[in-house]
Amino acid sequence: MAEQKGRTEIAELGEFGLIDELTKNFKSACKSTIVGIGDDAAVIEASKDTAIVLSSDTMLEGIDFDLTYFPPKHLGYKAVTKGISDIAAMNAKAEQITLSLGISSKISVEVLRDFYAGVEFACREAEVDLVGGDTTASMTGFVINITAVGRAKKDRIVRRSGAKPNDLICLTGNLGAAFMGLRLLEREKRVLAGTDQQPRFEGYEYLLERYLKPRARYDIVESLGEEKLVPTSMIDLTDGLASDVLQICKASHCGARIYLERIPFAKQTSALAEEMHIDPVVAALNGGEDYELLFTVPLAERERIVNIGCIDIIGHITAENTGAYLVTPDGGEIRLKAQGFKESEER
Amino acid sequence: MAEQKGRTEIAELGEFGLIDELTKNFKSACKSTIVGIGDDAAVIEASKDTAIVLSSDTMLEGIDFDLTYFPPKHLGYKAVTKGISDIAAMNAKAEQITLSLGISSKISVEVLRDFYAGVEFACREAEVDLVGGDTTASMTGFVINITAVGRAKKDRIVRRSGAKPNDLICLTGNLGAAFMGLRLLEREKRVLAGTDQQPRFEGYEYLLERYLKPRARYDIVESLGEEKLVPTSMIDLTDGLASDVLQICKASHCGARIYLERIPFAKQTSALAEEMHIDPVVAALNGGEDYELLFTVPLAERERIVNIGCIDIIGHITAENTGAYLVTPDGGEIRLKAQGFKESEER
């Protein structure tokens, strides 16, 4: 009964063009809306000087996780991370989450109990309250939606759009570990299919943890607060360094130079990449799911960034017309291209 | 690799026991959390005298909607209704929504464009802003998550828990129409399967509209505001009158008497019910998806309720130990039982 006129495949519009196209007619009607579509989270007026930050994400079985190797407790933890990482990317503190689940018949109460134990652990760790949601039967796979709400002084909220030429590009932690963890899990699943052997993960536990139980970097939001430092722009690394740097460039109307030799890798990431004949730089650029923070600060703030520690300066912002490039040690430049981990986009 | 120890089926815990069981260990850590799990929406501190109200719902293809007869534009409209109805049920005005979609490969750009046109129409009508969300590929069906954010003065927020004995039970609109609309759509789908005949809907357009394009009753929130009337408890009718009255009774520790002859039906509801040999009372009690508001007010407010118009007083609250019953015209009493439209629960 629903007609099918012309048919355009989603892929034809391109991954990041789709939402722009679909929401171009939407107008804002509420003066309480401070930031709408197009950042890690929306910003809503709370009081004269504070704002509420709001983010919503969906995780689907078969796309975002594989229950054959994803322990339910870790999945619950990771769902919370996904939500509060978006809030951290706005330089805000997450305070509440809601969880809406679609539960298929293959999910038992025991699996759900483990899932909620992971949610509870992550909530306690991040001092976040689970305040609602709903539960529906699912005909298909396990469906998880996490909505996170945070709060910050308005003058501390950081968007993707404030980067300026010469700003330093800063990065927390290291990259590519989650991607290599996923590759390892997929390899062991493939190799062991139909056998009763146990998978071999020795020496790569850190990679599994980074994929299965990543921690959102709200500690960095606290450190920035203590240093009284407000980044000019920020994003959380979910789609790979290339895609996420390009998001900053697009929102801030600027270019960027990232220095290849400054991209930080964990030892296990490099070791497994070598074993699996993968370039760790590719894992960092396109891998995604790192849940680290990428942000920019004015050049003059270099010392305070060094003071915080555990932050690498991996490049700098340039004028928009210079484009966004990865600079190799020999001075070569490789254009950054958005290439998501999977067909997923944030808006 | 994920172990399966004992296995309890979800159904064994009962529809409404599940969330209680899974969230019993959660403790609140944030003083900004005013109301957590267990109402139509969560309530979060905004400023000294205002609060933010937050609700999240998931709609799954095959469970909540059937794309063979659900026009995408109506589906977009209904998703918004689902979100803002929860906000209205707290006596608050919805201001923002986020939309997270899981899109399967059978969904074309044209279908998505129609879906967003419905979202945009509903947003414009309700003066709500779409402020974010995300889009993911889905391996299975179309997945919709809608999160709605509203705002109200703290002293106007209404929970499920404030009903007192002798309070009047008030209902907006009429019941059972959405359920009959769904039955009609299912009948025509069944009858016409494999033929190229057109479905027959003449005379029942209102029922289709109530199922496919229900409108949230935020007009009632405005009317209550104009009358300076604050209900003692409120809920939106999504799971059927029986289930939703019981939610009020459970949260308010009270009983209820609903008078069968006072349950309002539209003419088309009664007509199709007769044609299909369905008792319209059963459609009202168990049907759900009416998106009307059920609320209680002190007996002394009867006149102001009558002033608002389009509200029926269908019963009254009693002491907890008297239970919750439907009273038939001959004085008989039938115990109200929760029996959802589908396996879905709000918390």
pLDDT tens profile B155-214: 999 999 999 999 999 999 999 999 999 999 999 999 988 888 888 899 999 999 999 999
> Cβ(A310)–Cβ(A172) under 8 Å?
yes
Are the Cβ atoms of B132 and A7 closer than 8 angstroms?
no
B308 near A CB under 8 A: no
State which amino acid sits at residue B62. Answer: G
Closest CA to A294 of A345, A251, A331: A251
Give the ranges where chain B is alpha helix by DSSP (H): 10-13, 17-23, 72-88, 109-126, 177-192, 205-212, 218-226, 241-252, 267-275, 280-286, 302-308
Residue B16 has what pLDDT?
58
Of B72, B130, B145, the CB nearest to A37: B130
Closest CA to B214 of B64, B345, B92: B64
Q: Tell me the sheet residues that pair with B134.
A: A346
Residue A182 lies in a domain: yes
| Residues B181, B324 within the same domain | yes
| Residues A151, A115 within the same domain | yes
Contacts of B294 (CB under 8 A, 6+ apart): B169, B170, B171, B234, B235, B236, B237, B241, B244, B245, B248
| Residues A55, A143 within the same domain | yes
Residue A340 has what pLDDT?
44
Helix (H, G, I), strand (E, B) or coil at B243: helix
Helix (H, G, I), strand (E, B) or coil at A252: helix
Are the Cβ atoms of B60 and A136 closer than 8 angstroms?
yes
Query: Which residues of chain B make contact with A14, given a CB cutoff of 8 A?
Result: none
CATH of the domain at A36: 3.30.1330.10
Residue B162 lies in a domain: no
Residue to substitute from B95, B131, B190, B247, interface A, most A β-carbons within 10 A: B131
List the structure tokens of B248.
């009020």
Are the Cβ atoms of B116 and A56 closer than 8 angstroms?
no
Chain A, nearest residue to B38 by Cα: A132
| Residues A45, A173 within the same domain | no
Of A5, A41, A123, the CB nearest to B26: A123
Last residue of a domain, one of A132, A156, A180: A156
Beta carbon pairs, A and B, within 8 Å: 323
Return d(Cα A33, Cα A31) in angstroms, integer: 5
| Residues A116, A199 within the same domain | no
Query: Which residues of chain A make contact with B93, given a CB cutoff of 8 A?
Result: none
Return d(Cα A84, Cα A93) in angstroms, integer: 8
pTM: 0.92
| Residues B101, B40 within the same domain | yes
A136 near B CB under 8 A: yes
A20 near B CB under 8 A: no
Residue B198 has what pLDDT?
87
Residue A64 has what pLDDT?
94
SS3 content of chain A, % helix, strand, coil (to 5): 35, 25, 40
Residue B70 lies in a domain: yes
Are the Cβ atoms of B30 and A140 closer than 8 angstroms?
no
B24 near A CB under 8 A: no
A230 near B CB under 8 A: no
B4 near A CB under 8 A: yes
List the structure tokens of A339.
């290439």
Helix (H, G, I), strand (E, B) or coil at A233: strand
Contacts of B245 (CB under 8 A, 6+ apart): B169, B256, B258, B294, B324, B336
Query: Which residues of chain B make contact with A199, given a CB cutoff of 8 A?
Result: 1
Of all helices (H) and strands (E), which one includes residue B130?
strand B129-132
Residue B14 has what pLDDT?
59
Residue to substitute from A74, A135, A139, A144, interface B, most B β-carbons within 10 A: A135
Return d(Cα B104, Cα B115) in angstroms, integer: 14
Return d(Cα A52, Cα B233) in angstroms, integer: 27
Last residue of a domain, one of B155, B183, B198: B155
DSSP result, A84-127: HHHHHTTT-EEEEEEEEEEE-TT--HHHHHHHHHHHHHHHHHHT
Determine the distance in angstroms separating the CA of A118 from the nearest CA of chain B, rounded to an integer. 11
A306 near B CB under 8 A: no
| Residues A185, A145 within the same domain | no
List the structure tokens of B105.
């490969």
CA dist list (Å): A63 to A9, A289, B303 = 19, 13, 56
CATH of the domain at B255: 3.90.650.10
Chain A, nearest residue to B115 by Cα: A22
List the structure tokens of B227.
């009358």
Return d(Cα A343, Cα A19) in angstroms, integer: 13
Place of tokens 């989603």: A10
Closest CA to A258 of A288, A230, A224, A281: A281
> Cβ(A52)–Cβ(A43) under 8 Å?
yes
CA dist list (Å): A345 to A99, A183, B62 = 20, 21, 25
Residue A128 has what pLDDT?
97
Are the Cβ atoms of A129 and B33 closer than 8 angstroms?
yes
| Residues B133, B209 within the same domain | no
| Residues A36, A183 within the same domain | no
Residue B288 lies in a domain: yes
Last residue of a domain, one of A127, A156, A185: A156
Closest CA to A286 of A180, A170, A160, A171: A180
Contacts of B330 (CB under 8 A, 6+ apart): none
Of A44, A102, A110, the CB nearest to B6: A110
CA angle B308, B311, B314 (to 5 degrees): 140
A104 near B CB under 8 A: no
Q: What is the DSSP letter of B223?
A: H
Residue A174 has what pLDDT?
97
Neighbours of B342 (CB within 10 A): 12
Residue B292 lies in a domain: yes
| Residues A267, A316 within the same domain | yes
Domain that holds residue B188: 168-335
For chain A positions 31-70, those within 8 Å of chain B (CB to CB) are 32-33, 35-37, 39, 41-42, 44, 46-48, 50, 52, 54-64, 67-70
Return d(Cα A234, Cα A244) in angstroms, integer: 10
Which residues, given as ranges, of chain A have pLDDT below 70? 1-5, 11-16, 339-347
Residue to substitute from B5, B30, B55, B84, interface A, most A β-carbons within 10 A: B30
Are the Cβ atoms of B58 and A98 closer than 8 angstroms?
no
Which residues, given as ranges, of chain B have pLDDT below 50? 1-4, 340-347
Return d(Cα B134, Cα B100) in angstroms, integer: 5
| Residues B129, B183 within the same domain | no
> Cβ(B151)–Cβ(B52) under 8 Å?
yes
Residue B32 has what pLDDT?
94
Overall number of domains in chain A: 2
| Residues A59, A176 within the same domain | no
Residue B6 lies in a domain: no
Q: Tell me the sheet residues that pair with B56.
A: B147
Determine the distance in angstroms separating the CA of B339 from the nearest CA of chain A, rounded to an integer. 14
Main-chain dihedrals φ then ψ at residue A31, nearest 5 degrees:
-75, -10
Rg from Cα positions in chain B: 20
DSSP result, B253-317: TEEEEEEGGGS---HHHHHHHHHTT--HHHHHHH------EEEEE-GGGHHHHHHH-SEEEEEEE
Residue B5 lies in a domain: no
Are the Cβ atoms of A68 and B1 closer than 8 angstroms?
yes
> Cβ(B186)–Cβ(B179) under 8 Å?
no
Helix (H, G, I), strand (E, B) or coil at B60: strand
Q: What is the ipTM of this complex?
A: 0.90
Residue B16 lies in a domain: no
CA angle B55, B56, B57 (to 5 degrees): 130
Residue A16 has what pLDDT?
58
Instruction: Provide the sign of the torsion angle of the four alpha carbons B182, B183, B187, B190, taken in this order.
Output: positive
Are the Cβ atoms of B109 and A343 closer than 8 angstroms?
no
Determine the distance in angstroms separating the CA of A194 from the nearest CA of chain B, rounded to an integer. 13
Are the Cβ atoms of A29 and B141 closer than 8 angstroms?
no
Return d(Cα A113, Cα A179) in angstroms, integer: 27
